[in-house]
Structure 1
Amino acid sequence: MFINLNQNKNLKLFKIISEVAHRNSQSVYIVGGYVRDLLMKRKASTDVDFVTEQSGIELAENVAAEIDPKMKVSVFKTYGTAMIRYKDLELEFVGARKESYHENSRKPEVEGGTLEDDQKRRDFTINAMAISLNKDNFGELIDPFNGIGDLEHKTLRTPLEPSQTYSDDPLRMMRAIRFASTLQFRIETDSLNAIRQEAERIRIVSMERIMVEFNKIMLSVKPSVGLGLMEETGLLQLIIPELIALKGIEEVEGQTHKDNFYHTLEVVDNISAHTENLWLRWAALLHDIGKAPTKRFVEGTGWTFHGHEFLGSKMVKTLFQRLKLPLGNDMKYVQKMVKLSSRPIALVTDDASDSALRRLLFDAGEDLEDLFILCKADITTKNARKQERFKKNFEYVAVKIREVEEKDQVRNFQPPISGEEIMEMFNLKPGREIGILKEKVKEAILEGEISNEKEEARKFVIAEAEKLGLSVV
C-alpha cells in the first residue's frame, strides 16, 4: 500500500530528506505519531520522527546542511538521536534500534537494528507504522502489525506480547489509557488485562512523566474515559488513592449517600464541556477530595461531610507535592476553587446578606466566573426538574452578586486608604498598628459598615486609631 504524499504540505521537505539519504546511501522512513495522524486525517503534528538503518545523527547533519548550512543540529549521542527545527516543525532523526530492559529501570540497553526491530519496540501497532521516503518505494506504508486495521477498528494493541511491553516500559500503560481517552479508542482485552497485571510496575516511572500523560487525559474531550480505565486497572489507586477513597455507597438506618467517585467523574466531564483550563478541570477532580475523611453518620440528620471543602483545599498542597505538580499560582488557584466550591449554593436564599455576597466576591476575585462554572458542573442529578432548579438558583446568585459588585466594587478590592497614608496620618513607622487598621477597614467594608470610598475610610480609621491611643498629626 502506498500513501499519496503529493498533497502533503511537507512534501518538499520529505523530497529533500529522501534525496540526502539516497546520496549518502542511507535508508529513511517517517515513523510514529505523524504517520498515525496522517492516516486518521487528524491535524498534522508538528513533531516528525524519522528512522534510518544507519546513523540518525549523520542523516540529521546532512539534511540540515542541505536546507541551510547555518542550521543548528541538537545532538543526543547517548540515544543516537538528533533534532533540527525547520519552520514550525521539530524533526527528530534516530538510528533504527532494538532494546532490552532490566527489571528496575525503564531505560533500555540499545543496539543498532533494522526498521523491523525498531517497529517491534514501539508501544502500539498504530504507532509502529512507517512510510518509506526511499527513492525506490517513496510513499510505501510499511505496517507489519496491521496498525491500519487497528486504526479502522479504533483498537489499541501492542506489537509484541502486552505483558512484556508494559513490564519493559510501564509508562506505556499510561500512554495506552491516554490514547484511549484522547482518541476514543478501545484497549484490546489482552492488553487491558496486562495493564491490570503489571500496574505495580508504574512505581518505577518518575511522577513527572506520569503527570505528563495524566494531564493529557485531563485535557481530553471526556476525561472520565481515561480516569475510569485508570480505576479499573488499579493505576489510579497507586497514583491518587485519595480519589479511590471516595468510591462506594454506605447505608445506615436506611439512609445512603451518593458514590462520590463516580459523581466526581461526571463533574470533570461536565466542566470539560465548558473549559479547556487544565487547573479548573483539576479543581473539579479534587472538589470533593475531603469527603472521605470527613464522612460521618449523625443520628436524626443522616450522612454529613462538614468542612470537606476546607480540608480538601488543604489536601491539594500535599497532593500537588507528591504528584510533582506546580506549587505556585496553579496550585493556589485549585486550592481556592476547592475551598469555595460550596459557597455560592449557600447564598441562594432571599435572606442572604449583602455582606456574605461581598465576602464571596472578595474571596473569589477574578476567579468568580470559574467558580460558577465549577458549581454548575457539580450538578449531576438526573432529575431534569431538579437540574433546572439548581441552574436557576445559580443564576439568581449571579444576579445578586452583580448588583452588589456594581454598588460596592469589591471584586478587585484595593483598600481605599493605603498603609503609607495611615503612617503619614499618625506619623507612624511600619508596625503592627498599620496592619490592624487596614484589616479593620477591609472588614468594615465587607460587612457594609462603611462604603468603599476614601473619605469614609479615612473617618473610620481615625475613629479606630483613637481606640489604639493614636491621634492625627
Structure 2
Amino acid sequence: MRNITNADLAKLLDKDIFHKISEAADSLGLECYVVGGYVRDLFLERPSNDIDVVVVGSGIRVATELKNLFGKKAHLSVFRNFGTAQVKYRGVEVEFVGARKESYSHDSRKPHVEDGTLEDDQNRRDFTINALAVCLNKERFGELVDPFDGILDMEDGIIRTPLDPDITFSDDPLRMMRCVRFATQLNFIINDETFEALERNAHRIKIISGERIADELNKIMLTNAPSKGFVDLQRCGLLQLILPELSMLDLVETRNGKAHKNNFYHTLEVLDNVCKSQIASDDDGEMMLWLRWAALLHDIGKPRSKRWDNVAGWTFHNHNYVGAKMIPGIFRRMKLPMDMKMKYVQKMVDLHMRPIVISDDEVTDSAVRRLMNDAGDDIDDLMTLCEADITSKNQVRKQRFLDNFRSVREKLADLKERDYKRLLQPCIDGNEIMEIFHLTPCREVGALKQTLKDAVLDNKVENERESLMKLLMHKAKSMGLV
C-alpha cells in the first residue's frame, strides 16, 4: 500500500474523464465523488477499471450532461427504476448513482431507497475500505473523505464494516460472501467483531440466489490462494449452508488407534497446488477456473464411500466414481453451468485416481493409451490435478510419486508423438515408392510422398494402404511413371 495525499490524488485523477465529470457536475451545481473500489485500488496499487461516481442529487442528470460534453463518441444508458446511469467513452465505463440511504425488510435484500447525503451513502457501504470517496468538484478536486478510517484498515490489512456488522450482514446477506471474498483477494484478515457477526448471521445466506453465491465463489476460486477463503467460510458456518458436501470433509475419525487424514484441509492444499501450477505456467485459459473446481470437488465422494476394514483400516474405494455422480446435482443446485464445463469437472473427478494407479505399477503403453483415450484433450489438466493431489508430508514417499508421475508424463509425450506419426504420416513411405516405381531418390519421389501426406493431413483419404495405393497410382500415372 502507498501513502497518498490529496495533492497526490488530484494528480492520479488528472485524466480527461474525471475533469469532464467535474465540469458536468459543477455546471449543474451538484457535489460528486468517485467512490468504492476505484479509490481503494489507488491506495493498494491494484488495477481497476470500475469507476463509480456518487452524486449528491441526481446521478442521471450528471451522466446526461457528461454525455453531452463528450458528444456522439459517448454512449449513455439510463436505468430510471434504479436511479442509475452509465456512460461509456473510449473503452471507459462510469457508473453514476445519486447519494442515498437505505432500509431493508427482513426477508429481502432489496432495499427501500431514499435520497441522501454523502454521509448517508458512505454509511450504507459494505466495508470501510470500500467507503472511501474522493471529491471531483473543481474547488475540492482530489479531496479524500474517509469517515470510517478505511485507510488505516488498509494499512493494517483488515476487513471491517462501517456500522454494526449484524445490521450490515442481516440487511444484505450477500455481503457475508463479499467479506470473505475481499479478505481472500487482498490477503486481509476479517476483524474479530465482523467475523463474529458472520457466524451469527450465516443462516441469512438462505435468501440469496445460487447465482449470486456462485459468482462470489468463482471470484474466491480465481485468487492466488483460494484456500484462505474456504477456511473462513467453514469457520463462520457459511460453507455448511452453501456447499455442505465440501464442509463434510472436515472430519477425522479414529478407530483402533487408526485415523484418516482431514480431507477438507487436504482438498484445500490440492486446490492451492493447482493454482500454483497455473500461475507458474502463466495459464489463463478458459478452463482454468473449472480445473480449480475439479480440485475443490475431487474428494467429495469420500464421506459416502468411507469404510472401516479391520486389516486395511479406513478405505475410500471408488470415491472418485461416487464423487463424479454427485457433480451434476451440486452444479444444478448452485446454478453453475450445466454444459461442457460441468462435464469437464465430472470427468476430472472421475479420472483423478487413474494416473496414480498407473504410476504405482509398471507404466505400460496400453495403460497410458487407455488413459489418453478416456481423458482426451484434457489429459494435461488431469496430470496437473493428480500431481497437485500429492500432499504427503513424507518427503520420500512424495518424491517417489512425483518421479512416477514424471514417467507417466514422459510416456504420454512419447505416445503422442508416436501416435501422431502413426495417424498422420502416410503408411506408404518413400522407400516403398522407390521400390514400386524402380526409382532412385529424385524429385518425382518427393512429389508422390507430398501428395500422400497432403491427402492424409487434409483428411481426403483414410491413412490405410488400399486407399493410399489408389491415390499413389493415380498420381504416378498423371506424372507418366506408369
Q: TM-score range by the shorter chain?
A: 0.7 to 0.9
Cα distance in 2 for residues equivalent to 1:349 and 1:128: 55
Cα distance in 2 for residues equivalent to 1:143 and 1:404: 62
* 1:79 match: secondary structure: coil
| Greater shift in the superposed pair: 106-115 or 273-282 | 273-282
Superposition deviation, residue 7 in structure 1: 3.9
Does residue 36 of structure 2 align to residue 36 of structure 1?
A: no
Cα distance in 2 for residues equivalent to 1:169 and 1:457: 69
Code of the aligned partner of 1:284: A
Cα distance in 1 for residues equivalent to 2:300 and 2:328: 12
Question: Is the 8 Å Cα contact of residues 359 and 401 (structure 2) preserved in structure 1?
Answer: no
Does residue 250 of structure 2 align to residue 247 of structure 1?
A: yes
Does residue 154 of structure 2 align to residue 151 of structure 1?
A: yes
Partner of 1:379: 390
Does residue 89 of structure 2 align to residue 86 of structure 1?
A: yes
Cα distance in 2 for residues equivalent to 1:292 and 1:100: 43
Cα distance in 1 for residues equivalent to 2:463 and 2:248: 49
Partner of 1:266: 269
Question: Is the 8 Å Cα contact of residues 366 and 412 (structure 1) preserved in structure 2?
Answer: no
Cα distance in 2 for residues equivalent to 1:304 and 1:104: 44
Partner of 1:100: 103
Cα distance in 1 for residues equivalent to 2:134 and 2:362: 69
Superposition deviation, residue 455 in structure 1: 5.0
- Which runs of 5 or more structure 1 residues have no equivalent in the other structure? 417-451, 459-473
TM-score norm. by structure 1 comes to 0.85
| Aligned partner of 1:299 among 281, 306, 310 | 310
Superposition deviation, residue 411 in structure 1: 12
| Aligned partner of 1:329 among 337, 340, 343 | 340
Partner of 1:173: 176
Code of the aligned partner of 2:409: A
Question: Is the 8 Å Cα contact of residues 365 and 412 (structure 1) preserved in structure 2?
Answer: no
Cα distance in 2 for residues equivalent to 1:208 and 1:3: 42
| Aligned partner of 2:124 among 101, 107, 121 | 121
Question: Is the 8 Å Cα contact of residues 245 and 292 (structure 1) preserved in structure 2?
Answer: yes
* 2:179 match: secondary structure: helix
Cα distance in 2 for residues equivalent to 1:115 and 1:288: 49
Cα distance in 1 for residues equivalent to 2:83 and 2:29: 18
Superposition deviation, residue 306 in structure 1: 1.1
* 1:4 match: secondary structure: helix
Matched length: 420
Question: Is the 8 Å Cα contact of residues 73 and 89 (structure 2) preserved in structure 1?
Answer: no
Change (3 A) 1:368 1:30: same
Superposition deviation, residue 234 in structure 1: 0.4
Superposition deviation, residue 402 in structure 1: 2.5
Partner of 1:342: 353
* 1:48 match: secondary structure: strand
Code of the aligned partner of 1:25: G
Deviations 1:285-334 (A, max 9, x none): 00101111000012212211111111111111110000000111111111
Superposition deviation, residue 410 in structure 1: 11
Partner of 2:133: 130
CA RMSD in angstroms, aligned pairs only:
2.1
| Greater shift in the superposed pair: 117-126 or 34-43 | 34-43
Partner of 1:20: 24
Does residue 410 of structure 2 align to residue 406 of structure 1?
A: no
| Greater shift in the superposed pair: 306-315 or 190-199 | 306-315
Deviations 1:122-158 (A, max 9, x none): 0001000100011221110001111111111111111
- Which runs of 5 or more structure 2 residues have no equivalent in the other structure? 279-283, 428-461, 469-482
Runs of 4+ in structure 1 over 6 Å off? 410-413
Code of the aligned partner of 1:249: V
Partner of 1:468: none
Partner of 1:223: 226
Give the percent of matched residue pairs that are identical in Structure 1 and Structure 2: 51
Partner of 2:373: 362
* 1:158 match: secondary structure: coil
Partner of 1:11: 15
Deviations 1:354-376 (A, max 9, x none): 32211101111111111111011
Partner of 2:403: 392
Question: Is the 8 Å Cα contact of residues 361 and 411 (structure 1) preserved in structure 2?
Answer: no
Cα distance in 2 for residues equivalent to 1:240 and 1:273: 24
Change (3 A) 1:352 1:457: farther
Partner of 2:464: 454
Cα distance in 2 for residues equivalent to 1:12 and 1:74: 20
Change (3 A) 1:457 1:360: farther
Partner of 1:428: none
Superposition deviation, residue 8 in structure 1: 2.8
Code of the aligned partner of 2:143: E
Deviations 1:422-463 (A, max 9, x none): xxxxxxxxxxxxxxxxxxxxxxxxxxxxxx9635999xxxxx
Does residue 328 of structure 2 align to residue 317 of structure 1?
A: yes
Deviations 1:39-80 (A, max 9, x none): 11212x111000111100111010011012463211111110
* 2:81 match: secondary structure: helix
| Greater shift in the superposed pair: 342-351 or 104-113 | 342-351
